[in-house]
Amino acid sequence: MKRAKSGGCRPASATEKKARIKKVLLPYLLITPFLAAFILFFLYPAGYSLYLSFFKYKGYGEAKFVGIDNYVSLLNYRVFYSCRRLFRWLQRLLYSVFCLQPNLVRLISYLEQKSAGLKTVLLYDGR
């Protein structure tokens, strides 16, 4: 009979097993409150709203199933399209403010570091 080398796999002690379990479980334990709140305050209301969108329901009384008629009537409603234009304009404005302008500031500061003359050309106001 041959004996296994002493440097091979040895059984882990009880404290090492507990430490390994803590190391593996700790991230899941820390994220559990977030997941519970996310499900309770976002996923459940969003799913319930989607479910109710297939019903004619005033918030009280009996809910009557109408299928996709709510969505069809929304697409036939003229005000919906004017609101879409407003939201498209708002989306472009927000994109401009939060995406384009900071990038322009970064570009100008980068060019400022590279060339003082180019900065003068870009920011020249004609005075």
> Structure pTM?
0.52
Question: Which pLDDT belongs to residue 66?
Answer: 95
- 42/27 Cα distance (integer angstroms): 22
- 95/103 Cα distance (integer angstroms): 11
123: its two tokens = 């920011």
| Lowest model confidence (mean pLDDT) among 5-9, 27-31, 87-91, 111-115 | 5-9
For 32-74, what is each residue's pLDDT tens digit?
Answer: 999 999 999 999 999 999 999 999 998 899 999 999 999 999 8
Does 91 score more than 70 pLDDT?
yes
Question: Which pLDDT belongs to residue 84?
Answer: 81
- 62/65 Cα distance (integer angstroms): 10
User: How much is the mean pLDDT over the chain?
Assistant: 82
